[in-house]
Amino acid sequence: MITNINYNHLYYFWQVSRHGSIAAASKILHLTPQTISAQITSLEQRLGKQLFLREGRGLRLTEYGQLTQQYADDMFAIAEEWLETTKGDLASINRTLKVGISDALPKSLVSKWLAPLIDNERISNLHCIDGQQAELLAQMATHKLDLVLADKPLDGDTPFKLFCHEIGKSQIGFYGMKQDQALTGDNFPAALADTPIILPAKNSPVTSAIQYWLNELKIEISVAGHVDDSALMKALGQQGFGVFPAPLSVREEIERHYDVNFIGAIENVYQNYYAFTPDRLIKDSIYSEFVQHARSIDDNQEPT
């Protein structure tokens, strides 16, 4: 078992791997290239594996070097986060919580989830960022986000460690303008065949489930467009570009805010909700309380 690694040597390796050469790293570290080269050689001897391959005047990371760089990225990013967090008087430390929110999520529901965090005395600032789920998770991997809320679980290709909390789900229904009320009642869902429909992104789980439901009913629809941003999809529906799917759990807010009406529920089609945290934050009480609160909102939803 390898023990007693010199972390100064690891730090020198990390700087060289980031900046592409010993010469570039020497300027950052204010050390001679010879010193850095000797320290990296010492680290390689301690590990028993090569970190770099010499190619002419340049360096290329070995496969083991690439793996080591990934771990070094995490280690030194956490160290920087620690130093930033503990600046000043420890007794007065307050936290900035950085939350990534998938564009696909209904913001009215997200606001209910986040409400306790806004009033939490341990959090001085709640910083929210919208975006695509993959982009947000990539930011979490580099410690730029503390919490990500999304509608898709992790897939097996995620190259970094995260913890996934399932926090709820809602059945999906169609909404439209008042003139779309002819689609309701006995006409639903057959009348959808003659109506423009706005759907989420093509790779969305909700879109796939809706298309499967329509195929089972042998209903062919006219797709007005695919929109990944849930707020934009509702706004387009409000302007009459087509009916759109949205969760029943926020039906009242959708009808009131966008001046649209509920048309009908989609049988066995749900939007699932997930919260992602880095491994190191799984046991943090703030995140545990958030997950419990979000799940309680889902449990208390009135049937529609």
Residue 304 lies in a domain: no
C-beta atoms surrounding 51 within 10 Å: 22
Q: Using the predicted structure, report yes or no on whether residue 200 has a pLDDT greater than 70.
A: yes
Residue 248 lies in a domain: yes
What average pLDDT does range 19-27 have in this prediction? 91
CATH number (domain holding residue 203): 3.40.190.10
Rounded CA separation 55/49 (Å): 17
What average pLDDT does range 193-203 have in this prediction? 91
- What is the average pLDDT value for the chain, to the nearest integer? 86
pLDDT in the model for residue 79: 82
The domain in which residue 59 lies consists of 5-85
pTM value? 0.68
The SS3 of residue 121 is: coil
Residue 187 lies in a domain: yes
Residue 76, both tokens? 């030194």
134 shares its domain with 259:
no
Q: Using the predicted structure, report yes or no on whether residue 113 has a pLDDT greater than 60.
A: yes
Q: Is residue 130 a contact partner of residue 178, using CB atoms and an 8 Å limit?
A: no
Q: Is residue 127 a contact partner of residue 144, using CB atoms and an 8 Å limit?
A: no
CATH number (domain holding residue 69): 1.10.10.10
pLDDT in the model for residue 139: 87
Sheet holding 162-176: strands in order across? Answer: 123-131, 95-102, 147-150, 261-278, 162-176, 244-247
Residue 18 lies in a domain: yes
pLDDT digits (tens, 9 = 90+) for 47-90: 999 999 988 777 899 999 999 998 898 888 878 767 766 665 54
Give percent of the chain with pLDDT exceeding 90: 56
Q: Using the predicted structure, report yes or no on whether residue 114 has a pLDDT greater than 50.
A: yes
146 shares its domain with 174:
no
